[in-house]
Structure 1
Amino acid sequence: MNNHIQEPGLHDQSSGKMPDYGMAATRADVLSQVLTLIRLRGELVYSAQLRAPWSIAFPKGAAHFYFVETGTMWVKTLGAEPLAVSQGDMLLLPHGTGHMICDDPITPPAEIGDLIGEHFDRDKSVLDYGDDGTPTRLVGGLFHFEGGSLAAIMAALPLVVHIPSENGKTPDWLHALTHFLVKESHEVEPGSSLMISRLIDLLVIRTLRTWAASQTHPGGWIGALGDERIGRALSAIHAAPYHPWTVKGLASLSAMSRSIFAERFTARVGEAPLHYVKRLKLTLAADMLASGGVRVTQAAERIGYASDAAFSRAFKAQFGYAPSEASQRQDGS
């Protein structure tokens, strides 16, 4: 059985010699590689001083994060049960779906757009809203994952990533990052926008890493981060995505038999090894084409397709549109 990806017109680009990932694979960081590929971009941070009763609805768009400094709140998202959040908890809502934060799920919401003018101090980046009931103070922010073609990879993340506090105690990393985020937003100086963006990057990445490490059976590539052997194979794939990977070669890197590796990879990641490789290559091609600097033929050759027709069929099967439309899709996203 030939274990190379068997797409019509797909061919090897190299001699087929296995790269030396004996040590590099154990050092590679799949989470960083994926987040680099999708270009995480932090946008805004603010403090919120809220007093019950209060409820705020946010529209679909940017991803959000919340760190509850004091008090409690609820988070409601379409497709998920309301989630109670306590002091010291950290939340990510990575998919940019509409959501609501509130003191109680039954409190009628106000749209965030209607509150900005009267309740948001733009100079200090402080949202002050509510009545005279129990107070809640939080740090919130917005960010984007810019690689729209990577929706399938980001699908491994749940609607809400929740990092509970340790009996109300804030981890040192979370306290430090939120402290500097608030400081930069309150004391605007040259370079503050860039600092805020970079700090949000760090906050999101560290939160995802902490969440992934805490999951017993997470799905997708995140699930494999906690599996040393499968993680080694994923690291190698992401470090050299254009290599003509085979199941046998990946199994060897993972120090497993081919059959056991294939079964374990599929169970942990949610798809067969070479399907994952194929999807990653097509995703990289979509990213190249969206940038506008690469022609369809060049993208096809780069990821190993011998003909534009074969590449176009595989591309459209994965994304639902032709490679020639990729740049327009990016512009319209």
Structure 2
Amino acid sequence: MKEKTAAAISMISKACLTGHDADALVHAPSSEITGVPPIDPDMLSHVLTQVRLRGGAVYRAKLRAPWALRFPAGAAHFYYVEQGTAWVHLAGRTALSLEQGDLLMLPHRQDHVLSGGALMATDDIELVSRAHFGTNRHVLRAGKDGAVCRLIGGQFHFDGDAAAAVLAALPQALHLPGNGIDAPPWLDAITRFLLQEAHGGGPGSALMVSRLVDLLVIRMLRCWAESQVRLPGWIAGLSELRLGRALRAIHAEPHRPWTVQALAALAGMSRSAFAERFTAAVGQAPLQYAQHWKLTLAHDMLAQGVLVTQAAGRSGYASEAAFSRAFKSHFGYSPSTVRGQRA
């Protein structure tokens, strides 16, 4: 099964969108990607092995204007527009237009509204519920008798201790424009199999949905990264092999008391040249980034119920007091606050 999964990832990775801006899967190393900016595939695979995806609801939406649906916070979403136009409304940003062939991922589990138009009245927004699916849980219907919009939607969850740190480098929305072109073979295949497994409900269907969502998200992340002029955060380091060595070490041993000299040695660079290049590429100084990664992982531990003392030890701090000071300085609130929210 592992060999087949690796082969599938390799095959899918060779294609990219033409014109396009609860089960665990460990990602196999993928084939090298060409283009600008170049991405170190081993490093990307290394980061993604620390994040596990669980597929949730997958459905085909048949919508007719006017319509406006609110999706509550709690899950990541993806949308592929098969026909027509849709608008995505996220707090704090201008409404985003989606056309036929567009693929969108909302990785941060935020509340959002999907509608048939850029402007809408608050009273017209409906909260998505089981009533919109009727007797068929895999076909969502809404609206009246206006312009038609058909799309494939899905929900999924990022799991794993490193999920929060990985998501921190991603924007609110990853939009891959299709320019009105039909879906490329890889996307058509994944969405078709996703719907088939979601509808079938046979033995192993939950595992199949999770793995297919996994492949879809990997492909989306790659296509999005290739389209960016300036990559954010750790993703920028993937374009430079030497920086990738240092990033890989930080990710693999976040609890270690890293020094700039030690990281520069791994990168095969002088201390000053490494610090300058790392900061320019990643947007944070090496030790600042190392602390951010470590504390973000600690935050995720606390959110999952790990005791403050345990989180401090796993993060490499000599005492709970030192950990609490660093945590509060970084996030603006104490570790116990995160534990309290869980309770």
**TM-score, normalization by structure 2:** 0.77
Alignment gaps of 5+ in structure 1 = 1-25
User: Which residue does the alignment assign to 2:201?
Assistant: 188
Higher relative contact order (CA closer than 8 Å, sequence separation 6+): 1
The alignment status of 1:230 with 2:243, answered yes or no, reads: yes
Mean alpha-carbon deviation: is it higher for 96-105 or for 225-234? 225-234
The alignment status of 1:43 with 2:43, answered yes or no, reads: no
Letter in 2 for 1:307: S
In structure 2, how many angstroms separate the alpha carbons of the residues matched to 1:37 and 1:51?
Answer: 40
**Following TM superposition, by how much is the alpha carbon of 1:99 offset from its aligned partner in structure 2, in angstroms?**
1.9
- 8 Å Cα contact 1:68-1:89 kept in structure 2: yes
Q: CA offsets, 1:232-253, max 9 Å, x none?
A: 3212321333344322232233
- CA 1:129–1:290: 2 relative to 1, 3 Å: closer
- CA 1:132–1:238: 2 relative to 1, 3 Å: same
In structure 2, how many angstroms separate the alpha carbons of the residues matched to 1:78 and 1:286?
Answer: 24
The alignment status of 1:315 with 2:327, answered yes or no, reads: yes
Q: CA offsets, 1:159-210, max 9 Å, x none?
A: 2110122651423332221111111122222332332233223322321222
Give the alignment partner of residue 305 of structure 1, picking from 301, 317, 328.
317
User: Which residue does the alignment assign to 2:174?
Assistant: 161
- Partner-residue secondary structure (3-state), 1:233: helix
Q: CA offsets, 1:30-52, max 9 Å, x none?
A: 4653x554543322111101123
**Following TM superposition, by how much is the alpha carbon of 1:266 offset from its aligned partner in structure 2, in angstroms?**
1.4
The alignment status of 1:259 with 2:272, answered yes or no, reads: yes
In structure 1, how many angstroms separate the alpha carbons of the residues matched to 2:161 and 2:314?
Answer: 20
In structure 1, how many angstroms separate the alpha carbons of the residues matched to 2:274 and 2:56?
Answer: 41
**Following TM superposition, by how much is the alpha carbon of 1:311 offset from its aligned partner in structure 2, in angstroms?**
1.8
The alignment's C-alpha RMSD in Å is 2.9
In structure 1, how many angstroms separate the alpha carbons of the residues matched to 2:189 and 2:196?
Answer: 11
- 8 Å Cα contact 2:71-2:128 kept in structure 1: no
Q: CA offsets, 1:240-295, max 9 Å, x none?
A: 33344322232233333322221221122221111111222233334444444x65
**Following TM superposition, by how much is the alpha carbon of 1:139 offset from its aligned partner in structure 2, in angstroms?**
0.5
Q: CA offsets, 1:217-242, max 9 Å, x none?
A: 12212232233332332123213333
**Following TM superposition, by how much is the alpha carbon of 1:62 offset from its aligned partner in structure 2, in angstroms?**
2.2
In structure 1, how many angstroms separate the alpha carbons of the residues matched to 2:204 and 2:42?
Answer: 31
User: Which residue does the alignment assign to 1:208?
Assistant: 221
Alignment gaps of 5+ in structure 2 = 1-39
| Greater Rg by CA | 1
**TM-score, normalization by structure 1:** 0.79
User: Which residue does the alignment assign to 2:9?
Assistant: none
In structure 1, how many angstroms separate the alpha carbons of the residues matched to 2:294 and 2:240?
Answer: 23
- 8 Å Cα contact 2:65-2:145 kept in structure 1: yes
In structure 1, how many angstroms separate the alpha carbons of the residues matched to 2:279 and 2:62?
Answer: 46
User: Which residue does the alignment assign to 1:170?
Assistant: 183
